[in-house]
Structure 1
Amino acid sequence: MLEPDKDFLIKLAHTKMPYGKYKNRDLIELPEYYVVWYHNKGFPKGKLGDMLQTVYELKLNGLEDLIRNIKRQFPK
């Protein structure tokens, strides 16, 4: 897993999927099967890919609430 910093996690907590079937859904709220599909297919390049990879690792380890708590503590 990437070693995200505080700012990265805060940004992740507020980032929405920019395209596709789940456009405008918070990344942490994407269905697990969809994130696993990206993991198998290959994550996009850049910041979105880094965030999706982090979401994959969080979901794999049952840590989604970490991001939900960050979103509540650091509202936009």
Structure 2
Amino acid sequence: MFPEYRDLITQIKGHDHHFTRLFDKHNALDQEIKNKEAHIEPGTQLEIERLKKEKLAIKDQIYQHLKQVSANA
């Protein structure tokens, strides 16, 4: 995710609690979606779509946060 910000992500992950929480939530949702799509966990198509929308919203927040931190650096 966001290869152009890889170094910045490494720098702020663990130091910026808001960013770390967003990043971890995104990864958890990604895994949950994969598990439901692979039928490892139960889930309806509607639930999977809802999770994907939530994951995308968090990804947008992560991107905005990265842009802000990058601009202030």
TM-score under structure 1 length normalisation = 0.32
Find the structure with the greater CA-based Rg. 2
TM-score under structure 2 length normalisation = 0.33
Q: Which has the higher helix share?
A: 2
